[in-house]
Amino acid sequence: MNKNLKKIKKLENEDILETIRDIIETDNVPIFINYLYICKGGVNCSPNDSMDLCWVFSKIICKLTSIQCEQYFRIKEINHIIRFLDHPNVRVKECGISVLGNLASNNIQTRELIVSNEKLFSKVLSLFQSDYNTSFYRSLLWLFEVFLKDGWLFEFISTAVDHIYHLYRDQFVINRLIVSYCRAVHYNNNMKYISLLIESGIIQFLSKYLLNIYLKPYTRKIIITFLEYILTSSFLILKNKNRLSNPVILIFEEEDLFTTIKSLSKKNKYNLNNKYI
C-alpha cells in the first residue's frame, strides 16, 4: 500500500485534514487520488487494501464535509478542489466533484460560498461543456441537482441537455437528470424555470425518447410523470397569472405532443404525486 495511505491510517481524526493538505500539495496528487478512485470503485486492489482504502476515503470525505472544516474551506480547500477539477485525469476530476458535492450538500451557506467564488464556480460550469465518460456525468448530475435546488444554474440547463443527447443509451443518467429537474421545479415552481426547461428542448427530447423500444418500465414511468408535471405546472401558472408566455404557447400548440403525453399518462395510469419527486 502507498506510504501516504499507511500514514493516514495511523492518524487521529483531527490530524487527517492537515495531512491531506500536505499530500495534495506534493507531486503525489495523481497517485493519491487514483487510490481514492480505486477505493470508491473497488477495482484493481486486493480485498485487504480495498478495506483500508475505503476507510481512508470515508474519513477524508467525512472530515472535508464536517462543520469544523468550513473555516478551512473558505481559504485553502477551494484552491485544492480547483486543482482536482483542473487535473487532466478524469478520475481526479471525478473525485473533486465528489468532494465538492459533499461540501455543497451541507447547507445553503456553503453553496453560496461556492457560487460566490468565481474561479471555482466557472470551473464547475466548464465541466458541463466537456466530454467525459458516463461515470463522470453521474457524479456531475448529482452536483448539478444540489445547485438546482436553490434555483442556480438555470441558464445552463440547455448545455446539460445537449450532453445528455450523447448519453441517451445510459438510462441511469437519464433518470438522474429527470429526478434533478423534478426536484428543481418542485422547489422553484416559477414561470422562468419552466420556460427555460421548455426552451432547452428537454420536453421534445424526452417525448421522442419514449419511443425507444429498449426503454425500461421505470424509466418510461418517470419520464411520463415528469412531462405530465411540467405541462400541468405550466397550465396552472398561466391560469393563475392570467397571461401567456411565448415558450409555453409553443409547447401547447404542439397538440400531437400534448395528446401523446396525455394518452400515455392515462394508459399507464401514472398519476403525479410527491412519490416521484
Whole-angstrom distance, CA of residue 148 vs CA of residue 141: 10
Across all residues in the chain, what is the average pLDDT?
59
* DSSP letters for 241-269: HT---HHHHHHHH-HHHHHHHHHHHHHHT
Least confident span in 114-128, 144-158, 261-275: 261-275
- pLDDT at residue 207 above 60? yes
Locate the domains of the chain by residue range. Answer: 1-127, 167-277
- pLDDT at residue 192 above 60? yes
What is residue 21's predicted lDDT score, i.e. its pLDDT?
Answer: 53
* DSSP letters for 198-211: HHHTHHHHHHHHTT
- pLDDT at residue 232 above 60? yes
- pLDDT at residue 244 above 50? no
What is residue 264's predicted lDDT score, i.e. its pLDDT?
Answer: 47
Number of residues assigned to the chain: 277
The distance from CA 155 to its chain's CA centroid, rounded to whole angstroms, is 15
Least confident span in 17-21, 107-111, 195-199, 255-259: 255-259
